[in-house]
Structure 1
Amino acid sequence: MGDIYIYMLIILAGLAITDLVVGVSNDAVNFLNSAIGSKAISFKTIMIIASLGIALGALSSSGMMEVARKGIFNPGEFYFDEIMIIFMAVMITDILLLDFFNSLGLPTSTTVSIVFELLGAAVCVSLLKIGENDNETFLDLGKYIATDTAIEIVVGILMSVAVAFTIGALVQFLSRLMLTFDYNKRPAFLAGIFGGLSLTSLYYFILVKGLKGADLGGLNFIFEYTTNVYETLGYGFIFWSIVSLVYVYVLKWDIYKLIIILGTFGLAMAFAGNDLVNFIGVPIGAYDAYKIWIENGAVANFPMDALAGKLPSQKWLLMLAGVVMILTLWFSSKAQAVVKTSVDLARQDSGTERFKSNFVSRFLVRYSVMAADGIEYIMPKKASIYISKRFEKVPSLGLVSKNEDKPAFDYVRASVNLMVASVLISVATSYKLPLSTTYVTFMVAMGTSLADRAWGRESAVYRIAGVLNVIGGWFFTAFSAFTAAALFAYIIYWGGFYAIIGLVVLAVVLITRSFIMHKRSQSEQRVTDELQKAESKTIQGIIEESSDTVATVFKRAKDMYSNTLEGLMNQDLGALKSGRKVSKKLGGEIDGLRNNIYFFIKNLDEKSIGASKFYIDVLGHLQDISQSLEYISRSSTDHINNNHKSLKFNQIKDLKEIINRIHSIFEESQHIFRSKEFSKLESIILKKRELLELVDQKIEKQVKRTKDSDESPKNTTLYFGLLLETRDLMNVTTQVAEQYFTEYDSSRFGKKQN
């Protein structure tokens, strides 16, 4: 019998490592967001600082492990085998749930997921025990579950979302009033005061949230001086203000960078010290339970009262977990995707938005604008002018390098993000209020971006929609964690070890599938990245820069056109639906390039206006190509999806001839644009004329067939639509070739003349 539990411990160990990987991928956003978004320090330096924080936090996390053992349920009410069922169900659920959110690139709370998983599994097993006991009813559930803790956590979640957003917005508003966007030109003493406040909050945060509860041996006396919150903060503010003033006035260093460095370190340490329990607390709890069970003779129906007591920490397990977390931080691409979501929603500049607007976001923006207009109407004019001046953006000096990403926000906002998140988490910890570091850090970042007017009329509906999606995902986490863990616990309760094996295999299959899909998505993203934004200032430069984009569009157009018509002729609905997604994706990418036109024109000098017209025309033609492909894909998919008659033999024969010609034209065009041998484009223009003549012949043949025989109306409509759209596709493709051929020739000629 004991062998089964050894196997279960081995499985739990494997699940713990996997959970660490997917958990760090999700929670890295908590401490990387501000540093990466502001670009205050290099990415490598950010990772080193965060790794040091994780290492120290992991070693100081032993005091939090008891949460998994006794924080949600009363272990004395369960037998050893029932405890193992709960822990196994929780770990399988946690891995699948976190990996799901990581694949979507959305941050969620590992704290909430583990709490509701423990709650769901424990409730399920409790109800099963109650059902087998004639002397107990549903009302006895409170004997098994720590209901007070569960209620506190739910209330803490709801409050933290609103409080973090509101305080983040308020502090950022006041900070910007004091420092403005041109903060480097403000009096140095203001930077010193701001530094004193920020460093005090981080100092208290690192002590109370990061290290308190850890077993530091002889250094534990430090915490005796932090029992009085106000006294600790008061003396800390005086000390750190002096340090900041010396830092600014004497050393002439940037205090904001120091705040960002220490804030990143502090949040990374707090994450490892407090959230490590979310990933390995359950397996360690299972290991402790197994040792207790073995030490007491491995008897059946052994109650686990000992789990509620103080147990020795497993330092070597904490060190191993710290190593896994650091490696994941460095190598997880999913972690970077989650961070990107948070940074994108908070960035100062507008651009291509990831999320689409919805009814709620439009409603909120509309009435927020009305409220803002009302406030401005009743506010004294002088006050309104003063505030507006404090929020004036600093004009950008020069052009941004083509291969350089602009910071999403400045050092002031990054510092406020870290400072406010630190204060809120520290205060909640000192009053023993449960909350999620993910919720706090994310909502503070959203509040500061709102106060900083990053959510302008151009982007507000999309940013709010993104925030609502993330918040909705949080509540979905709680519901799905509870439900899935309860279901898995039920399956394991009745299916035993065979059910565990089945669920583990299911988890492995789903995670492997997620990994493959993520890699495929990354590969597609690399293709997308080939559609580069042009940043040159001359027509010659634009021709050189945009030619790769045109070549990429031609390559993908060639594949889309051929695959779509092949799918139509073979009546392959799966291939047609896949092609439909690809065509929409191409259209979205070209729309992204068109959305950048404003910034492209702003970067041009007065002598290069012609370059902007050339580039706008090129993007217009590429959009026409994507629209033609989208029409061909949509009409073909609808035809097969509606179970209409297949194409006739003669129609298929004619289409194959056209496909081969178009494939040849796109193939040759792609190579010309990739090699930038634009003088060869004349041959493409001649081939296009031959193809158009061929299409016209096929149209005439179909007209004759329709007159002479009994043709299907749907077939005929589809076939004519495909031919006409093919003609439009070739016309636009040739217009691109003619435009490059003409402009390249004239620009070179003009250059020689000069």
Structure 2
Amino acid sequence: METLYLCIVIFLFVLAVFDLMVGVSNDAVNFLQSAVGAKAASFKTVLFIAGTGIFIGAALSNGMMDIARHGIYQPQHFYFAEIMCILLAVMLTDVVLLDVFNTMGMPTSTTVSMVFELLGGTFALALIKVYGSDTLDLGDLINTDKALSVIMAIFVSVAIAFFFGMLVQWLARIVFTFNYKKRMKYSIGLFGGIAATSIIYFMLIKGLKDSSFMTADNKHWIQENTGMLICCFFVFFTILMQVLHWCKVNVFKVVVLLGTFALALAFAGNDLVNFIGIPLAGYSSFVDFTANGAGTGPDGFLMSSLLGPAKTPWYFLFGAGAIMVYALYTSKKAHNVIKTSVDLARQDEGEENFGSTPMARTLVRFSRTLSTGISRVMPESSKRWIDTRFRKDEAIIADGAAFDLVRASVNLVLAGLLIALGTSLKLPLSTTYVTFMVAMGTSLADRAWGRDSAVFRITGVLSVIGGWFITAGAAFTICFFVAMVIHFGGTFAIIALIGLAIFSLIRSQVTYKKRKAKEKGNETIKQLMQSNDNAEILELLRKHTREELVKVLAFTEENFERTATAFLHENLRGLRRAMGSVKFEKQLVKQMKRTGTLAMCRLDNNTVLEKGLYYYQGNDFASELVYSVGRLCEPCLEHIDNNFRPLDTIQKGEFADVTEGITYLLQNCRHKIENNDYEGMENEVRKANELNGQLSHLKREELQRIQSQSGSIKVSMVYLTMVQEAQNVVTYTINLIKVSRKFQMPE
């Protein structure tokens, strides 16, 4: 029996390695977003500074793992076997759940996930124990205070961080404006002093409060002399920053990099429990059981020892720090999560990653109404003066950066202050929530959310916030059922769940790689938006257009054939899949149009006049292809879903023949655009004319059947719609390849 539990402990540590890697992938956005978004230094430099902060924070952490030992459950009422069941369920759930969020590029809270997984697993075992006991109730087994405080912290941190991010950034922009280099002769020293003092205070209060050298005497001395320390730091750093400014050093970069280091340090020092707390609790339980529980067995040995605090051995801390740094440098998913936050906060218009939702549209309308009301009562002179402080055309933004150094500095300083304040007030604020919402508030204050992008940005923010709540619910529910399965299924269930977790992680990696391969086309548009050479921009736009049109034709080919085949064989599932694909493709086409319009704006006037019409015509024909497939699929789906009479044998044979020809035409046109080779295009034009003639003949034949009343009206209606939309597909396809040739070929 001991061998089984030893294997479980070893597996917990193996999962901890994965958890550290996926956890860092998720939380990297907390401390990298501002430095990466403002390009305060090269990406390698930012990673080095953050990695140093992570390693030092992990190494200096004293490893107090109280939340994993007795923060949620009351261990004195649980037996060793039950504790191991809970801990294994938590780790299996945590690794998979965080990996899913990372794959989607959505930042979430590792603290919330761990707390609610512990709560779900404990609740499952507690129900079983209460059912079989006359003396215990749920209040004896579960400590719900911690979970409730985390739920409250979600609301508190989201609202406070967003509001103060908006307010402080507005004030900072009033002081410095977008052309900050002209207005920081003496104010920069004061700003740098406040910022550096805030960051140091944050490091002492939050980042190093549980470090090994922070004895009770040291903490007491810092608490007693906090005011004096802040004053000394403020005077010192104000003078230092002013001197650095006179020495031509960019103080904003210093503040951003110092803030990055501080947040990384605090993350590693305080969030380490989220990743290795569970396996260390399991290890401690196993050591206690093997030493004292031999006579009672795993189902009779109570785990009262977990009530006491435990210090983590230094080699666990060093190992965890090394793994976290490795994950930070190598994880592509970490870069994906950072991209989500940076894109939502960027100053410029660009490709939006989120669509539009009713909630976002309502919020935008409300904000516009409120803004209009305030504008009416504000004096014109005040409005003009404020507008002079927010001239975005004067913004000093590094090449390829999403926003400037002023905003990056405010993001880091304010996030650090709010987290330190929450810690001092014993509020369990989440670093993820605070840093993300501060960044969203500062971007709103900077007028980065214009009328053309606000609804998409708000949708993105709401999606991320919704993901945080989903994390809590999913963590609780999944862990509840996993703990139940392990408890009742025993060894067989453990092996099956471990295999399922491994399969899920592997499948996630494969899916992620496939998705990234599909997104390679985005690299072309990124290069295009960064280029200033008109000839290069035109070539990149031609390449990007080919990539997008090939995707549309591939979609049309696949879903036209799927719809026709599914309808002829009365396959309802196939029609529903096609309809779902159409809805998704419509969003992609809208996004393609927005991106292409932004790209066209970078061409000179002559090129736009010469090639612009062909480009927009190509986009319109691509859109019509997608909508034609939708108009074809919708009546077919309704017909089959209502169990109406199918097509007769003659109709099926006629349409099956023409479907094969249309699919072949789509395939040939796709290959020509993909290879940028339009030689022999006359063959496709001739084939299209033949297909249209054939479809017109089918239409006349069906009208004659209707006239003679030889068939069902419902069947005839859907059949005529199919023929008409098939004609549209042929026409739009051949028009698309014609305008594509005109756009791609040099004059």
Do both share a fold (TM > 0.5)? Answer: yes
Question: Match of 1:408, as an amino acid?
Answer: A
Matched, 1:567 2:566: yes
Q: Structure 1 residues 742, 411: closer, same or farther in 2, change over 3 A? A: closer
Matched, 1:337 2:336: yes
Question: Match of 2:353, as an amino acid?
Answer: R
Q: Which residue of structure 1 lines up, in the alignment, with residue 201 of structure 2? A: 204
Work out which of the residue numbers 420, 423, 428 in structure 1 matches 2:417.
423
Deviation at 1:382, TM superposition (A): 2.1
Partners of 1:347 and 1:70 in 2: how far apart?
Answer: 42
Q: Structure 1 residues 143, 540: closer, same or farther in 2, change over 3 A? A: closer
Q: Structure 1 residues 676, 390: closer, same or farther in 2, change over 3 A? A: same
| Paired residues for 1:16-165 under 5 Å | 16-136=16-136, 138=137, 141-165=138-162
Partners of 1:547 and 1:406 in 2: how far apart?
Answer: 24
Matched, 1:260 2:259: no
Deviation at 1:70, TM superposition (A): 2.4
Matched, 1:363 2:362: yes
Q: Which residue of structure 1 lines up, in the alignment, with residue 266 of structure 2? A: 270
2:294 counterpart SS class: coil
Gaps of 5+ in 2: none
Deviates more, 1:438-447 or 1:341-350: 341-350
1:133 counterpart SS class: coil
Matched, 1:481 2:475: yes
Partners of 2:91 and 2:157 in 1: how far apart?
Answer: 26
| Paired residues for 1:299-698 under 5 Å | 299-300=295-296, 301-394=300-393, 406-526=400-520, 546-596=545-595, 598-610=597-609, 611-678=611-678, 680-698=680-698
Partners of 2:472 and 2:662 in 1: how far apart?
Answer: 53
Q: Which residue of structure 2 lines up, in the alignment, with residue 177 of structure 1? A: 174
Partners of 1:378 and 1:260 in 2: how far apart?
Answer: 38
2:392 counterpart SS class: coil
Which digits, 9 at most, give the CA deviation of each residue in 1:444-489, with x for residues without a partner?
A: 1111112112223323333223323322332333333334334433
Q: Which residue of structure 2 lines up, in the alignment, with residue 289 of structure 1? A: 285
Q: Structure 1 residues 683, 152: closer, same or farther in 2, change over 3 A? A: closer
Partners of 1:722 and 1:733 in 2: how far apart?
Answer: 16
Deviation at 1:217, TM superposition (A): 9.2
Q: Sequence identity of aligned pairs in percent?
A: 39
Question: Match of 2:19, as an amino acid?
Answer: D
Deviation at 1:352, TM superposition (A): 4.2
Matched, 1:213 2:215: no
Gaps of 5+ in 1: 749-754
2:63 counterpart SS class: helix
Partners of 1:357 and 1:585 in 2: how far apart?
Answer: 13
1:62 counterpart SS class: coil
Partners of 1:690 and 1:112 in 2: how far apart?
Answer: 62
Q: Structure 1 residues 524, 599: closer, same or farther in 2, change over 3 A? A: closer
Which digits, 9 at most, give the CA deviation of each residue in 1:315-344, with x for residues without a partner?
A: 222233233323333333333332232222
Partners of 1:43 and 1:518 in 2: how far apart?
Answer: 23
Partners of 1:204 and 1:564 in 2: how far apart?
Answer: 63
Which digits, 9 at most, give the CA deviation of each residue in 1:136-182, with x for residues without a partner?
A: 4x3xx444444544444333333222221121111111111111111
Which digits, 9 at most, give the CA deviation of each residue in 1:429-455, with x for residues without a partner?
A: 234332211111111111111211222
Question: Match of 1:170, as an amino acid?
Answer: L
| Paired residues for 1:179-194 under 5 Å | 179-194=176-191
Deviation at 1:287, TM superposition (A): 0.3
Partners of 2:635 and 2:515 in 1: how far apart?
Answer: 26
Deviates more, 1:160-169 or 1:452-461: 452-461
Partners of 1:84 and 1:548 in 2: how far apart?
Answer: 52
Q: Which residue of structure 2 lines up, in the alignment, with residue 751 of structure 1? A: none
Partners of 2:273 and 2:94 in 1: how far apart?
Answer: 12
Question: Match of 1:304, as an amino acid?
Answer: M
Q: Structure 1 residues 224, 677: closer, same or farther in 2, change over 3 A? A: same
Deviates more, 1:73-82 or 1:265-274: 73-82
Partners of 1:625 and 1:531 in 2: how far apart?
Answer: 23
Partners of 1:643 and 1:537 in 2: how far apart?
Answer: 57
Q: Structure 1 residues 87, 534: closer, same or farther in 2, change over 3 A? A: closer
Partners of 1:711 and 1:39 in 2: how far apart?
Answer: 69
> 1:199, 1:240 within 8 Å by CA — same for their partners in 2?
yes
Partners of 2:716 and 2:524 in 1: how far apart?
Answer: 38
Question: Match of 1:207, as an amino acid?
Answer: L
1:303 counterpart SS class: coil
> 1:678, 1:740 within 8 Å by CA — same for their partners in 2?
no
Deviation at 1:283, TM superposition (A): 0.7
Deviates more, 1:209-218 or 1:74-83: 209-218
> 1:540, 1:744 within 8 Å by CA — same for their partners in 2?
no
User: TM-score scaled by structure 2?
Assistant: 0.90
Partners of 1:672 and 1:117 in 2: how far apart?
Answer: 53
Partners of 1:124 and 1:672 in 2: how far apart?
Answer: 60
Q: Structure 1 residues 483, 579: closer, same or farther in 2, change over 3 A? A: closer
Q: Structure 1 residues 556, 597: closer, same or farther in 2, change over 3 A? A: closer
Q: Structure 1 residues 202, 742: closer, same or farther in 2, change over 3 A? A: closer
Question: Match of 1:650, as an amino acid?
Answer: I
2:519 counterpart SS class: helix
Matched, 1:248 2:242: no
Partners of 2:527 and 2:557 in 1: how far apart?
Answer: 22
Q: Which residue of structure 1 lines up, in the alignment, with residue 710 of structure 2? A: 710
The CA RMSD over aligned residues, in Å, is: 3.2
Partners of 1:196 and 1:113 in 2: how far apart?
Answer: 37
Q: Which residue of structure 2 lines up, in the alignment, with residue 752 of structure 1? A: none
Which digits, 9 at most, give the CA deviation of each residue in 1:666-690, with x for residues without a partner?
A: 3333343334344643443333223
Partners of 1:103 and 1:537 in 2: how far apart?
Answer: 36
> 2:521, 2:547 within 8 Å by CA — same for their partners in 1?
no
Which digits, 9 at most, give the CA deviation of each residue in 1:378-415, with x for residues without a partner?
A: 23332222112111202589xx9xxx984322221111
Question: Match of 2:662, as an amino acid?
Answer: I
Which digits, 9 at most, give the CA deviation of each residue in 1:15-41, with x for residues without a partner?
A: 222322332222222122222222333
Which digits, 9 at most, give the CA deviation of each residue in 1:485-534, with x for residues without a partner?
A: 34433443444434433433343344444344333333433467778997
Q: Structure 1 residues 626, 127: closer, same or farther in 2, change over 3 A? A: closer
**In the comparison of the two structures, how many residue pairs are matched?**
738
Q: Structure 1 residues 222, 187: closer, same or farther in 2, change over 3 A? A: same
Q: Structure 1 residues 406, 640: closer, same or farther in 2, change over 3 A? A: farther
Q: Which residue of structure 2 lines up, in the alignment, with residue 195 of structure 1? A: 192
> 2:673, 2:737 within 8 Å by CA — same for their partners in 1?
no
Question: Match of 1:634, as an amino acid?
Answer: E
Q: Structure 1 residues 12, 597: closer, same or farther in 2, change over 3 A? A: closer
Partners of 1:210 and 1:661 in 2: how far apart?
Answer: 67
